[in-house]
């Protein structure tokens, strides 16, 4: 529960950097990279220990294992890079690490479910089938749309989207209710001074959530630490727990058992379910997704019978499929993806990618406040030069080539700033929603630099940047335009802002 809350920071934190700190339930801060690194390292060590027990005479080398790290599809490139660095620090070799997108992994796994008969035997879908994958985890809901194409490959029809509609959204509603009953001071004291009791409450609530169904009759019961909570409420509020819960509608206290009526439990679920369904409906209305016949519900929260019933009712003309052990669909699909990443044929770009340029100023096109004068020439600053636009379908490994130049041969390299925006139309790098993804440093080869200096040259030095799209991560390669030799460019991701806030 705690790790998925920490993981949510990479989705909704405004500005992710090396200095990002996470707070535990007691309000104590820890470096985020340290938390994620140790979490991944624990999994790595567990796997290696398990293998060592099974295969006593074989020593695994770094090249023997390909590691797959799953992340929400709605994360930005900066967040993915952040997790990659954590994984490397945890002992996973960079070249042996693959980032997988969670709804994609689940989609791949479900292709092997024996649901429909086809010429090759049984499978989930046949060629031409369009379906929506809804991955409802602990924190986020990740939604994408796929079409089954030739050779069993999958084509993305709609860019990944989603929001904070996962299990923790239900927890937040429950916590709000408890705060209304017990007061903010009691809840704050629980979090900071009685952390174990606080966590136990939500562990019990997690069990209650899982046992609750649309057909449940009678109250849902969960155990609470009655003695400790009662002492705390008497000390802070001067009232017993019995008095505090006496007139609460839908909730009753009987010794150490909290009884919650079914209708009250539903009220905890309904806000996030409503947002989820509205989001799904918006995607369904997009012309790109016309013809969806299946909704695939996966993720830890997909096992909730109540969520299943609400989704099924909202989309009664579409077939709803929940695979066995829906919470493991991403894990199992990630294993398959690790063996064959080419199962995904194409993806839809979530962002418009571009660089900052400074063209000659044109008063009919450019804003007056963007005009600057450089060496006697009027130029427009902060112009956004598009590389590829959001919504573009890209094949795996699709390249986009852009030419640049260092201002002078006296420079030992050049800096290219790469910007992103969730909007298709972007004019300036400081437009609403646009953010700096990273800075690319391209060094000028020293042999070429010395040759130019010996000849007394001073002209600008051209170079080429190749942007490679379509994979789960953006890849970049720089090439010297004269020698045609690739150069080892360095891409440093910058802080990014939550795309939800930007939109």
The dihedral region occupied by 298, where left means phi > 0, alpha psi between -120 and 50, and beta the remainder, is beta
Tokens of 52: 């060592």
Tokens of 200: 């136990």
What pLDDT, on a 0 to 100 scale, did the predictor assign at position 406?
Answer: 66
Long-range contacts of 176-184 (CB under 8 A, 24+ apart): 177/251, 177/264, 177/268, 181/244, 181/245, 181/248, 181/251, 182/229, 182/233, 182/237, 182/244, 183/236, 183/237
Query: Are the beta carbons of 436 and 393 closer than 8 angstroms?
Result: no
| Rounded Cα gap, residues 135 and 106, in angstroms | 8
What pLDDT, on a 0 to 100 scale, did the predictor assign at position 334?
Answer: 95
Burial class (CB in 10 A: 0-12, 13-18, 19+), 376: exposed
What pLDDT, on a 0 to 100 scale, did the predictor assign at position 411?
Answer: 58
Q: Which residues pair with 478 in a beta bridge?
A: 465, 487
CATH of domain 2-166+269-347: 3.30.420.40
Tell me the CA end-to-end span of the chain in Å, nearest whole number.
Answer: 29
| Rounded Cα gap, residues 8 and 273, in angstroms | 18
Distances in Å between the Cα of 163 and the Cα atoms of 65, 159, 207, 437 are 33, 13, 24, 21
CA neighbours closer than 13 Å in the CB half-sphere of residue 280: 28
Which residues of the chain, if any, have pLDDT below 70?
1-19, 24-26, 55-58, 115-125, 406-412, 444-461, 495-503
Using DSSP, how many helices (H) and how many strands (E) does the chain show?
Answer: 14, 27
What pLDDT, on a 0 to 100 scale, did the predictor assign at position 178?
Answer: 93
Query: Are the beta carbons of 500 and 163 closer than 8 angstroms?
Result: yes
| Rounded Cα gap, residues 125 and 129, in angstroms | 6
| Rounded Cα gap, residues 503 and 434, in angstroms | 9
Q: Which residues pair with 143 in a beta bridge?
A: 134, 161
Q: Which residues of 187-197 are buried (b: 16+ CB within 10 A; e: fewer)?
A: bebbbeebeeb
Q: How many CB atoms neighbour CB 452 within 10 A?
A: 18
Torsional sign, CA 35, 37, 43, 45: negative
| Rounded Cα gap, residues 202 and 14, in angstroms | 27
Span(s) in the chain for CATH 3.30.420.40:
2-166+269-347
Q: Which residues contact 56 (CB under 8 A, 6 or more apart)?
A: none
Long-range contacts of 16-24 (CB under 8 A, 24+ apart): 16/78, 16/79, 16/82, 16/495, 16/496, 17/495, 24/195
What pLDDT, on a 0 to 100 scale, did the predictor assign at position 233?
Answer: 92
Span(s) in the chain for CATH 2.60.34.10:
349-502
433 alpha carbon, distance to own chain's centre: 18
What pLDDT, on a 0 to 100 scale, did the predictor assign at position 268?
Answer: 94
Burial class (CB in 10 A: 0-12, 13-18, 19+), 249: exposed
| Rounded Cα gap, residues 231 and 254, in angstroms | 16
| Nearest one of 321, 313, 323, 308 to 281, comparing CA atoms | 313
What pLDDT, on a 0 to 100 scale, did the predictor assign at position 119?
Answer: 55
| Rounded Cα gap, residues 52 and 380, in angstroms | 62
Burial class (CB in 10 A: 0-12, 13-18, 19+), 186: buried
The β-bridge relationship of strands 154-163 and 344-348 is parallel
What pLDDT, on a 0 to 100 scale, did the predictor assign at position 64?
Answer: 86
| Nearest one of 285, 350, 303, 276 to 101, comparing CA atoms | 350
Tokens of 48: 């290696």
- In terms of CATH architecture, what is 349-502? Sandwich (2.60)
């Amino acid at each position: 529960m705690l790790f998925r809350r920490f993981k949510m920071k990479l989705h909704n934190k405004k500005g992710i950097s090396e200095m990002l700190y996470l707070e535990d339930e007691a309000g104590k801060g820890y470096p985020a990279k340290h938390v994620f690194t140790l979490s991944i390292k624990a999994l790595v060590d567990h796997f290696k220990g398990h293998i060592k027990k099974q295969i006593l005479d074989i020593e695994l080398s770094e090249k023997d294992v390909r590691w797959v790290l799953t992340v929400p599809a709605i994360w930005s490139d900066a967040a993915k890079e952040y997790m990659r660095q954590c994984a490397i620090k945890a002992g996973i070799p960079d070249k042996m690490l693959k980032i997988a997108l969670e709804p994609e992994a689940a989609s791949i796994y479900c292709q092997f479910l024996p649901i429909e008969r086809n010429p090759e035997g049984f499978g989930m879908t046949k060629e031409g089938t369009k379906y929506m994958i809804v991955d409802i985890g602990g924190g986020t809901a990740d939604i994408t749309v796929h079409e089954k194409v030739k050779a069993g490959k999958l084509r993305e029809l709609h860019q990944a989207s989603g929001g904070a509609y996962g299990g923790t959204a239900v927890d937040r509603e429950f916590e709000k209710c408890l705060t209304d009953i017990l007061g903010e001071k009691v809840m704050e004291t629980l979090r900071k001074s009685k952390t174990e009791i606080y966590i136990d409450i939500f562990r019990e609530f997690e069990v209650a959530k899982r046992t609750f169904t649309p057909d449940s009759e009678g109250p849902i019961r969960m155990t609470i630490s009655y003695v400790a909570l009662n002492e705390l409420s008497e000390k802070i509020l001067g009232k017993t727990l019995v008095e505090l819960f006496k007139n609460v509608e839908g909730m009753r206290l009987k010794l150490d058992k909290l009884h919650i009526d079914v209708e009250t439990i539903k009220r905890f679920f309904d806000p996030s379910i409503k947002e989820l369904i509205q989001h799904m409906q918006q995607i369904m209305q997009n012309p790109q997704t016309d013809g969806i016949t299946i909704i695939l519900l996966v993720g830890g929260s997909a096992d909730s019978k109540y969520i299943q019933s609400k989704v099924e009712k909202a989309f009664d003309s579409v077939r709803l499929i929940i695979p066995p052990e829906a919470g493991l669909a991403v894990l199992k699909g990630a294993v398959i993806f690790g063996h064959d990443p080419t199962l995904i044929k194409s993806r839809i770009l979530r962002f418009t990618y571009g660089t900052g340029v400074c063209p000659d100023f044109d008063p009919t096109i450019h804003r007056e406040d963007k005009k600057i004068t450089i060496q006697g020439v009027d130029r427009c600053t902060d112009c956004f030069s598009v590389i590829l636009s959001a919504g573009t379908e890209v094949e795996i490994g699709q390249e986009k080539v852009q030419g640049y130049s260092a201002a002078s041969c006296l420079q030992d390299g050049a800096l290219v700033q790469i910007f992103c925006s969730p909007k298709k139309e972007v004019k300036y790098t400081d437009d609403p929603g646009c953010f700096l993804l990273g800075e690319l440093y391209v060094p000028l080869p020293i042999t070429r630099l010395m040759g130019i200096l010996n000849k007394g040259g001073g002209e600008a030095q051209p170079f080429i940047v190749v942007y490679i799209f379509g994979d789960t991560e953006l890849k970049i390669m720089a090439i010297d335009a004269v020698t045609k030799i690739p150069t080892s460019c360095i891409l440093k991701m910058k802080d990014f802002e939550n795309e939800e806030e930007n939109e």
